[in-house]
Amino acid sequence: MKTIVIGGAGFIGSNIVSMLVRKGCQVTVFDNLSTGYKTNIDLGANVQLIVGDIRDFESLNKAINGNDVIFHLAANVGNLRSINNPIFDTQVNVLGTLNILNSARLNNINKIVYSSSAAIFGEPMYQPINENHQFAPDTPYGVSKLAGELQCLSYNKIYGMKNVCLRYFNVFGVNQRYDAYGNVIPIFISRLLSKESISIYGNGQQTRDFVNVKDVAMANILSAEGKEISGVFNIGSGNSVTINYLANTIKKLLNDNSAIVYASERKGEVLHSLADISKAKKYLGFNPNTELANDLLEYIDWFKSEIEEAHNPKV
């Protein structure tokens, strides 16, 4: 299978690339490297990197030509980032996705696996959240990811494509670097390793469904391999924990005794989030790992190795 992973130098994309290579696939990585890293991918006989932007249709279309499946992970990611710059968010996430869809159609590619987000739901009306939950995104990011979903699904109806939209909950794991806008887990670990206190916005009783990036990568590949599979699927662990529990678990794993600082709630953040993944289990064969502490320990080890590499780069 010849595949192109758009956003393949990023956190989730690079994990998909690694898994595809292990399966013997030919992989093209298309990435503008704004948040991705060349070091995330092993370039070789089965992997090539094309530096480009999904807003540039000509270079995008050239890269897509000749592939069998498209994994679309390129995005301006994050609620706060989108609030700060909603126009840029729309240009990348909405118009960029439309470019990919048009290129796929012109190149007779029938399958796009699109990375969506639980942000499309907004504050949930019930738990766990299934795929039929109403859409009520609270941020430009959530709106843009929903728009991308609807574009993919409309191409299924109009052009007979088999696009799959995967609604990620809180993904973490190897290759996820610290970003002040990003996931709470690398923020907590980075601060604690730097001997700084960690802050929790709100009372810490808000809940999240954390899923390992390895499971997310597998969900993408299962979606691609199911030639007749299309539609939307929630991708999480199917379990949720409070942010207080998360913080205390990480502190325990790092043998940290510092106090937690509590701050005011932030705009655009939901209070509770838990995925109903029964549809993905049934139709994709998705079976995620649920050992959060073990996954956190693996991630902490990787995070420490990145710090060590930064201080002692290979010659």
**CATH number, domain at 142?**
3.40.50.720
> Which residues 6+ apart lie within 8 Å of 149 measured at CB?
114, 116, 120, 165, 167, 232
CA distance 308 to 315: 14
pLDDT for 82 equals 73
Structural domain harbouring 103: 2-173+211-236
pLDDT for 20 equals 98
pLDDT for 290 equals 85
- The backbone torsions φ and ψ at residue 305, rounded to the nearest 5 degrees and listed phi first, read -65, -35
CA distance 308 to 265: 34
Say if residues 36 and 10 touch (Cβ distance below 8 Å). yes
Evaluate the CA torsion angle 14, 234, 212, 145 in order and state its sign.
Answer: positive
pLDDT at 313 over 70: no
pLDDT at 209 over 50: yes
CA distance 176 to 81: 17
CA distance from start to end of the chain: 35
**Residue 217's pLDDT band (cuts 50, 70, 90):** very high
Say if residues 264 and 201 touch (Cβ distance below 8 Å). yes
- Look at residue 165 and give its three-state secondary structure: strand
Say if 168 falls within a structural domain.
Answer: yes
Is-above-0.85 flag for pTM? yes
Total count of domains within the chain: 1
**Residue 183's pLDDT band (cuts 50, 70, 90):** confident
Say if 144 falls within a structural domain.
Answer: yes
> Which residue blocks in the chain are alpha helix, DSSP H?
11-22, 57-64, 79-84, 86-90, 96-106, 140-159, 184-193, 213-225, 243-253, 278-284, 292-311
**Residue 180's pLDDT band (cuts 50, 70, 90):** low
**Residue 181's pLDDT band (cuts 50, 70, 90):** low
Say if 84 falls within a structural domain.
Answer: yes
> Which residues 6+ apart lie within 8 Å of 117 measured at CB?
141, 142, 145, 167, 168
Say if 222 falls within a structural domain.
Answer: yes
The distance of Cα 139 from the centroid of its chain, to the nearest Å, equals 17
Among the listed residues 141, 155, 178, 299, the single catalytic one is 141
Say if 289 falls within a structural domain.
Answer: no
Say if 275 falls within a structural domain.
Answer: no
What tokens were used for 89? 């968010």
CA distance 210 to 275: 10
Residue with tokens 């995005």: 75
What is the rounded average pLDDT of the residues 138-146? Answer: 91
What is the rounded average pLDDT of the residues 21-46? Answer: 94
CA-closest candidate to residue 237, choices 165, 297, 172, 142: 172
> Helix (H) and strand (E) counts for the chain?
11, 13
Mean pLDDT, the chain, integer: 93
Instruction: Indicate the burial class of 177 (C-beta count within 10 angstroms; 0-12, 13-18, 19 or more).
Output: middle
**Rg from Cα positions in the chain:** 19
- The backbone torsions φ and ψ at residue 84, rounded to the nearest 5 degrees and listed phi first, read -75, -30
**Residue 315's pLDDT band (cuts 50, 70, 90):** very low
pLDDT digits (tens, 9 = 90+) for 73-119: 999 876 667 777 789 889 999 999 999 999 999 999 999 999 999 99
pLDDT for 88 equals 87
Say if 200 falls within a structural domain.
Answer: no
pLDDT for 208 equals 96
pLDDT for 270 equals 84
Say if 248 falls within a structural domain.
Answer: no
pLDDT for 45 equals 84
Active site residue 141: yes
What tokens were used for 54? 């999904």
pLDDT digits (tens, 9 = 90+) for 277-305: 999 999 999 999 889 999 999 999 999 99
Evaluate the CA torsion angle 198, 201, 207, 210 in order and state its sign.
Answer: negative
What is the rounded average pLDDT of the residues 51-57? Answer: 97
pLDDT at 312 over 80: no
Q: Are strands 2-6 and 111-117 parallel, antiparallel or unpaired?
A: unpaired
